[in-house]
Structure 1
Amino acid sequence: MRTTVGIIGGGPAGLLLARLLHGAGIDCVVLESRPRAYVERRQRAGMLEQGTVDALRACGAADRLDAEGLIHRGIELRFDRERHRIDFPALTGGRTVTIYAQTEIVKDLIALQLAAGPPLLFESEALAVEKPESEAPVVRFVHEDCEQTLSCDYVVGCDGSHGISRDAFPAAASRTYAHDYPYSWLGILADVPPSCEELIYARGPAGFALHSMRSPSVSRLYLQVPNGTDADDWPDERIWDELAARFAIDGDWRLERGPITSKSVTPMRSYVHEPMRHGRLFLAGDAAHIVPPTGAKGLNLAVSDVRVLARGLAERRRTGSTQLLDRYSEVCLERVWQATRFSYEMTTMLHAQPDGDAFDHWMQLARLRRIAASRTAAAELAANYTGLPLAL
């Protein structure tokens, strides 16, 4: 097989890149190791920055998003049994975020790709990227029990943190930075209408809790738990009781309960790989960076990566210039490190520290009270949460 851009990974990053390239008249092939049904069921993020929404609209993938997405104009911080709202439009000049599940984004992009886009091959496991330094890199992959090769002008690894794309980077040319947090999230999906109109970030003596949603009838909630926690050790009633305790405030508010349809435990980690380009191989999304979900940046960072890359490839096709492609890693990493910083600050501010002391406790409260009392501090949080401008 031969194409201009070989894309490894059929998640939101790879699929969106394919749509953006298709719109620019650039041919590509998407290789996804999993079956379509599996890809369309994967539960992931659901908070979209304004720039992510704009990108989906630009490639014609926002019909259901516009009809079903829930626009949020703020979040609520809870601590010391108090509630404090952060008003995004008032603090950012009108910017908002949208709740729309990544699962649904993937379904929308797959439907477009199969209907009118370039090839999308499911159950196609990439084995290796060869000759990335050359002008004709090759992806070896297995499809229908047959090993094949895909010759490309460029290869993009959108294959996540456990994919093979990073393996093609020479060790001597790679730098990695990682931080593992001393706690995890127990996440649930529940068939119950949300108990709030906007996301609630709660910090209490027993730990962090987050109230989110996937739709007007499905709630998504999280609890801070120790690393190594088994979700089966948390029966439904215990989960609801703990959530109610962590969200508790002085005043009239009640957590609605309902059937829990799924439980999972997610370790918290920050990871950055530099650079994000080697020869004609580019990394995007989780293949290059991971952030804890507290700041809701993972999916949005992946989208900003492929937006930068798509513009660079379009510029190369249109003018012959590789100026933007040559700056891809530099441009993306500036945003990645800012998102990593923001995610770290949100995480360490809101989670109970397993080995923390009274000093740590009062420092966390001081940071939260600064945001609640200062328009400047609240505006900084709102600007980062809704998404910093794409620096191009």
Structure 2
Amino acid sequence: MTRITRKPVGIIGAGPAGLFLAHLLHRQGIDSIILESRSRADVEGTIRAGVLEQWVVDLMNRMGLGERMMREGHFHSGITLRFHGESHHIDMAELTDGKRVTVYAQHEVIRDLIAARLEDGGEILFGVSDVHLHGIESDTPRITFRRSADAPVEEIACDFIAGCDGFHGPSRQAIPAAVRQEHQIVYPFGWLGILASAPPSHHELIYASHERGFALLSTRSPDVQRLYIQVDPKDDIANWSDARIWSELHSRLEDKSGWSLIEGPVFQKGIIAMRSFVCETMRHGRLFLAGDAAHIVPPTGAKGLNLAVADVLVLAQALTAFLRRGDEDGLNGYSARCLRRIWRAERFSWYMTTMMHLNPNESTFEQRVHMADLDYVVHSRAAMTALAENYVGLPMDIPADLAL
């Protein structure tokens, strides 16, 4: 006999979107359950860099989730853009009335959210399989799953389902293909990222445009640094020895000032592809998409986690209004409200990506235009302000009752 559980909201995916949504609903007294196909160790061990927008930092602190972030995060006044061997500091704090660049890795945010969720007594089922969505066009949607590959099928009866399960998850695929309107760019370059045991080489992030390709210097802790170089996304990581990686990083990051990159043992490396993607159908019946299930941005603009949190902040308001008062306006307006911010973030991420990277498919004219854009950005206060405003985060309304 199938075991049936009843929850107002079923959440698929224990990434930033699903975890933040569960916390926001919990603060409104709305129960939910999270289903995650990976183990807790896999979820918490997936290393991802992260730059948090100022409003996300403020939200985490208001929700009581920011203690470790404030203790271990890295707070910078801006970033450095480097090209033609010269460095240009963008003072984002000065340009945006004190908003800072907060470097706190996504996996660290997830660890904090999981720990707080379990401490609150909330349910997260890790390692589930065979997740399927049913009846999403009805008032009684259901999720079926197995706790393990050989376990019996179980069912969760919900009022609503939140698909927070990423680009490859089942939620978006549950929406009929004829209904989904999807837009995508797959970039002809990717990032080779490393984690290295080394002290910081610089006090803030460096974004470097070089004739050999893009490079980025970031940080994870006082003893561990995160660095990236642009590569062919189809390249084999076996072709990249540590010595070759460091050689490229030195070539692409160093400038005419005599600044030098500090090396250290590399203990993790891998290549990631890059795409921009938007599914404009973020709601179908009682199913709502959020985070990477609905949109992907290249990491250059540092928007992925922040967009996921913005989605579920809107969704939590809409679900609360309906479940408490029967008000459907927020649910009906969910896609339009989210997509306005999403397309702005997509634009900024595309802008940063195309401006900073060497695209082998572009003409020399297009490449020169990108360099002219960089030159304009660092010499125009208006252009620097626009970049800073987008980077630290466009305004986001946080209702007081959702963040307590």
Name the TM-score, length of structure 2 as normaliser: 0.95
**2:342 maps to which residue?**
336
Q: Would you say 1:190 and 2:196 are equivalent positions?
A: yes
Q: Distance in 2 between matches of 1:58 and 1:275?
A: 31
Q: What SS class does the counterpart of residue 178 from structure 2 fall into?
A: helix
**2:143 maps to which residue?**
139
Give the partner amino acid of 1:124. V
Q: Distance in 2 between matches of 1:377 and 1:370?
A: 7
**1:364 maps to which residue?**
370
Any conservation in 2 of the 1:292–1:347 contact (CA below 8 Å)?
Answer: yes
Q: 1:37 aligns with which of 41, 45, 68?
A: 41
Any conservation in 2 of the 1:131–1:137 contact (CA below 8 Å)?
Answer: yes
Q: Would you say 1:115 and 2:119 are equivalent positions?
A: yes
Q: Distance in 2 between matches of 1:111 and 1:51?
A: 22
- State how 1:271-286 maps to structure 2 within 5 Å: 271-286=277-292
Mean CA deviation greater in 30-39 or 122-131? 122-131
Q: 1:309 aligns with which of 309, 315, 334?
A: 315
Q: Distance in 1 between matches of 2:233 and 2:255?
A: 27
Give the partner amino acid of 2:46. R
Q: What SS class does the counterpart of residue 106 from structure 1 fall into?
A: helix
Deviations 1:171-206 (A, max 9, x none): 221100000111111011111112111110000110
Q: Distance in 1 between matches of 2:121 and 2:75?
A: 29
Structure 1 pair 117/328, CA: closer, same or farther in 2 (3 Å)?
Answer: farther
Q: Would you say 1:95 and 2:99 are equivalent positions?
A: yes
**1:347 maps to which residue?**
353
- State how 1:58-207 maps to structure 2 within 5 Å: 58-125=62-129, 127-144=131-148, 145-207=151-213
The alignment-based identity, stated in percent, is 51
Q: Distance in 2 between matches of 1:96 and 1:322?
A: 36
Any conservation in 2 of the 1:331–1:391 contact (CA below 8 Å)?
Answer: no
Deviation at 1:377, TM superposition (A): 0.4
* RMSD between superposed Cα atoms in Å: 1.2
- State how 1:208-287 maps to structure 2 within 5 Å: 208-287=214-293
Q: 2:392 aligns with which of 369, 381, 386?
A: 386
The unaligned stretches of length 5 or more in structure 1 are: none
Deviation at 1:126, TM superposition (A): 5.0
Q: What SS class does the counterpart of residue 160 from structure 1 fall into?
A: coil
Give the partner amino acid of 1:118. G
Q: What SS class does the counterpart of residue 343 from structure 1 fall into?
A: helix
Q: Would you say 1:298 and 2:304 are equivalent positions?
A: yes
Deviation at 1:9, TM superposition (A): 0.4
Q: Distance in 1 between matches of 2:397 and 2:158?
A: 28
Q: What SS class does the counterpart of residue 7 from structure 1 fall into?
A: strand
Q: Distance in 1 between matches of 2:112 and 2:9?
A: 21
Give the partner amino acid of 1:52. V
Deviation at 1:319, TM superposition (A): 2.8
Q: Distance in 2 between matches of 1:12 and 1:46?
A: 11
Deviation at 1:252, TM superposition (A): 2.5
Deviations 1:135-183 (A, max 9, x none): 1100111114221111000000110001000121122211000001111
Q: Distance in 2 between matches of 1:228 and 1:245?
A: 22
Any conservation in 2 of the 1:5–1:27 contact (CA below 8 Å)?
Answer: yes
Deviations 1:35-62 (A, max 9, x none): 1111110112311111211222232211
The unaligned stretches of length 5 or more in structure 2 are: 399-404
Q: What SS class does the counterpart of residue 152 from structure 1 fall into?
A: strand
Deviations 1:274-322 (A, max 9, x none): 1101111000100000011000111111111111111112222333212
Name the TM-score, length of structure 1 as normaliser: 0.97
Mean CA deviation greater in 165-174 or 27-36? 165-174
Q: Distance in 1 between matches of 2:324 and 2:284?
A: 23
Q: Distance in 1 between matches of 2:320 and 2:131?
A: 28
Q: What SS class does the counterpart of residue 187 from structure 2 fall into?
A: strand
Deviation at 1:125, TM superposition (A): 2.6
Any conservation in 2 of the 1:19–1:117 contact (CA below 8 Å)?
Answer: no
Q: Distance in 2 between matches of 1:21 and 1:97?
A: 28
Q: Distance in 2 between matches of 1:201 and 1:118?
A: 40
Q: What SS class does the counterpart of residue 273 from structure 2 fall into?
A: strand
Report the count of equivalent residues: 392
Deviation at 1:16, TM superposition (A): 1.2
